[in-house]
Amino acid sequence: MKKFRDFSKWFDEVLFNAEIMDNRYPVKGFSVYKAWGARISRKITSMLEEQLEATGHDPMLFPVVISEEDFQKEAEHIAGFSAEVFWITHAGKRRLQKRMLLRPTSETAMYPMFTYWIRSHADLPLRIFQSVCVYRYETKATRPLFRMREFLWNEAHTAHKNWEAAEKQVETALKIYNAVFERLGLSYYVLKRPDFDKFAGAEYSIAFDAWNPDGKVNQIGTVHNLGENFAQAFGITYEDMDGTHRNVTQTCYGLGISRTLAAVIAQHGDDHGLILPPEIAPVQVVVIPIPYKGAEEKIAAYAKEVYEKIKAAGLRVHLDDGDKTPGEKYYYWEMLGVPVRAEVGPRDLNERQVTLSERTTLKRSTVAFDETVSAIERLFQKITTELAERSRLTLKKMTVDAKETETLKKAIKERKIARICWCEDESCAEKIKEETGGEIRGHRVDTEEKPESPCIVCGKKAEKVVYVARAY
Ligand SMILES: [Zn+2]
């Protein structure tokens, strides 16, 4: 498959031809979402927002600018982000007395406000989220959707009475993200990052690393327990039942909408283009009339009837009665990844049936007119399951065990994800990076894996089974 041979080229072609993005915007690292890409992104966002609201999170919208003073309150945080910050230094010709920055993430925009909102234990827990763009001056090569200087994400921030309550919130956050990614049919590893790779200012970080055809894992979501680090820096305290003042314990988590869209495209797409899970497809069914000499009007009328029937059932359906040939229409809607195509030709008219084609396998089947909607709904189920299953198998095939450095080198070179045993020493991780180009991404939190051999680098006792891959 082309996408495994030359992923970069395949991906750029799909983005352009499937009308996801136009990358000709004249500022490097910034791009334009076209209608199809914007609609899919909105579907992913609302799927996530519904889950967040159902679990006690409130939507809010914070300003894009942050004061330098607030940004610099948490030492580790600023150390982690300052190299990537876009500064606002001028207003017109006038140099600003106090610089501002565009949010690279919103901790330092939100937490000064938390100090006004949190006074007593009755104000906790506080759980909020926003779906916005954030800005990071990436110095690595930018890549549409994967690594941009402006990207869409959803970030949630919570405050709790103590560590235990924050730990429970981390569990909830992992469940929410798992639910969203599973509905999209994505496959990934949920990894606790090594200490040296945690979010700047966090106690620990857990990340979702999705597989990608080029072997570089794609971090689509992260969940952090911030402990009391930011509470201390910003003075976010509450009065407990016994009258004492305590720091809150915080968590935050972010889901990259752009990167999740990239994962959907990369994991499910094929040589014909995009394949969309029915749940997020802007058009779930496209009805295409196949004209036949002398029966053009009858076929057009029947196609309209089929379209109206599917529409009445509440499915997102489009009737393509334009002037292109049926073949050109097939090609176009396959590229856009529409899950089901309903063809209406002379034979369908005579038999009062509909021919359905599945985007995953391109298989065709015919159903009686009255059965159309239930047959399509069954196909949606089937396609959703098939996509998830295919993706899961690919991740499995991509993952290999490595016990010696040579095997590890070979695995990374062959664009695989390697599972290795590691002593937890940072110098061994650095050696791996230098020699193979792969990074230790962390150990699984959804299942326990015990090291059964020594550290792959130093030969000392291994503490963790970890996953190594190149990464975006
Ligand atoms: Zn070691």
| Separation of alpha carbons 342 and 348, rounded Å | 10
389 lies in a domain? no
pLDDT of residue 81: 87
**Assigned domain for 387 exists:** no
Which residues, other chains included, contact 385 with Cβ-Cβ below 8 Å and sequence gap of 6+? none
Give the separation between CA 81 and CA 76, rounded to whole angstroms.
Answer: 9
The total of structural domains in the chain comes to: 3
Tell me the CA–centroid distance for residue 464 and ligand 1, in Å: 10
Query: 194 alpha carbon to ligand 1 midpoint, in Å?
Result: 13
Q: What is the pLDDT of residues 358-371, one digit of tens each?
A: 999 999 999 999 99
Span from the CA of 452 to the centroid of ligand 1 (angstroms)? 14
Last residue of a domain, one of 265, 295, 325: 265
The predicted model gives 228-256 an average pLDDT of: 97
H helix intervals, 118-269? 163-183, 229-234, 257-268
CATH of the domain at 437: 3.30.110.30
Residues 107 and 67 both lie in one domain: yes
* 447 vs 289: CA distance, rounded Å: 50
CA of 471 relative to ligand 1 center, distance in Å: 21
Please compute the mean of the pLDDT values over residues 73-87 and round it to a whole number: 88
53 with 174, same domain: the answer is: yes
User: How far, in Å, CA of 98 to CA of 79, rounded?
Assistant: 20
Whether the predicted pLDDT of 6 surpasses 70: yes
Tokens of 361: 């396998």
Q: Are residues 220 and 353 in the same domain?
A: no
pLDDT for residue 450 is more than 80? yes
Residue 210 contacts residue 187 (beta carbons within 8 Å): yes
Residue 139 pLDDT: 85
What pLDDT was estimated at residue 106? 96
Q: Is residue 37 part of a domain?
A: yes
End-to-end CA distance of the chain: give it in Å, rounded: 22
Distance from the CA of 438 to the center of ligand 1, in angstroms? 15
Please, which residues have CB within 8 angstroms of residue 66's CB and are 6 or more apart in sequence? Answer: 100, 101, 102, 103, 106, 108, 109
Instruction: Give me ligand 1 centre to Cα 454, in Å.
Output: 8
DSSP calls for 79-117: HHHGGGPPEEEEETTEEEEEEEEE-SSSHHHHHHHHHHH
By the CB criterion, residues less than 5 angstroms from ion ligand 1 are 423, 425, 428, 455, 457-458
* pLDDT-derived band at 56, boundaries 50, 70, 90: very high
Instruction: Give the distance (Å) from ligand 1 centre to CA of residue 208.
Output: 25
| Rg from Cα positions in the chain | 25
Average pLDDT over residues 189-201: 95
Residues 351, 464: one domain?
A: no
Burial state string for 404-413 with b = 16 or more CB within 10 A and e = fewer than 16: eeeebbebbe
Q: Are residues 152 and 114 both part of a single domain?
A: yes
What spacing in Å lies between the alpha carbon of 409 and ligand 1's midpoint?
16
Whether residue 393 is contained in a domain is answered as no
CATH number of the domain encompassing residue 63: 3.30.930.10
Mean pLDDT of 192-198: 96
Confidence of residue 84 (pLDDT cuts 50, 70, 90): very high
Q: How confident is the model at residue 1 (pLDDT cuts 50, 70, 90)?
A: low
CB atoms near residue 146 (< 10 Å): 20
pLDDT of residue 86: 96
Q: What is the mean pLDDT of residues 436-455?
A: 96
Ligand 1 centre to CA of 174 (Å) is: 30
Signed CA dihedral, 285, 290, 296, 299: sign only:
negative
**Is 125 found in the same domain as 24?**
yes
User: Over the chain, what is the mean pLDDT?
Assistant: 96
- Which CATH number does the domain housing residue 295 bear? 3.40.50.800
CA gap 64, 103 in Å, rounded: 6
Q: Read off the pLDDT of residues 272-322 as tens digits, 9 standing for 90 and up.
A: 999 999 999 999 999 999 999 999 999 999 999 999 999 999 999 999 999
Q: Which domain, by its residues, includes 310?
A: 283-382
Question: Based on the domain organization, do 299 and 355 belong to the same domain?
Answer: yes
Q: If you measure from the C-alpha of residue 197 to the centroid of ligand 1, how many angstroms do you get, rounded to a whole number?
A: 17
- 21 alpha carbon to ligand 1 midpoint, in Å? 43
Ligand 1 geometric centre to CA of 432 (Å): 10
Q: 467 CA distance to ligand 1 centroid (A)?
A: 14
CA of 426 to the centre of ligand 1 (A): 8
Distance 459 CA to ligand 1 centre (A): 6
Do 179 and 321 fall into the same domain?
no
> What are the residues facing 273 on neighbouring strands?
270
Query: Where residue 176 falls among pLDDT bands split at 50, 70, 90?
Result: very high
Q: Tens digit of pLDDT for each residue in 381-396?
A: 999 999 999 999 999 9
The rounded Å distance from CA 450 to ligand 1 centre is 16
d(CA 144, CA 128): 29
- In 277-375, the DSSP E strands lie at 285-289, 317-319, 340-344, 353-358, 364-368
Domain boundary among 265, 299, 329: 265
Of the candidates 238, 265, 292, which is a domain's last residue? 265
Q: How remote is the CA of residue 301 from the centroid of ligand 1, in Å?
A: 71
Q: Is residue 360 part of a domain?
A: yes
Whether the pLDDT of residue 74 is over 90: the answer is no
Q: How far is the CA of 170 from the centre of ligand 1 (A)?
A: 29
CA of 431 to the centre of ligand 1 (A): 9
**Is the residue at 40 inside a domain?**
yes
Residue 116 Cα distances to 119, 238, 388, 402, angstroms: 7, 11, 45, 52
Domain check: are 216 and 345 in the same one? no
Are 375 and 416 members of one domain?
no
How many whole angstroms from 439 Cα to the centroid of ligand 1? 14
Q: What is the pLDDT of residue 76?
A: 83
Distance in Å, CA 436 to ligand 1 centroid: 15
User: Averaged over 78-93, what is the pLDDT?
Assistant: 92
Q: Which DSSP helix (H) or strand (E) runs through 251?
A: strand 249-256
Residue 112 in domain: yes
Same structural domain for residues 308 and 258? Answer: no
Evaluate whether residue 52 is within a structural domain: yes
Answer yes or no: do 258 and 334 share one domain: no
Percent of the chain with pLDDT over 90: 96
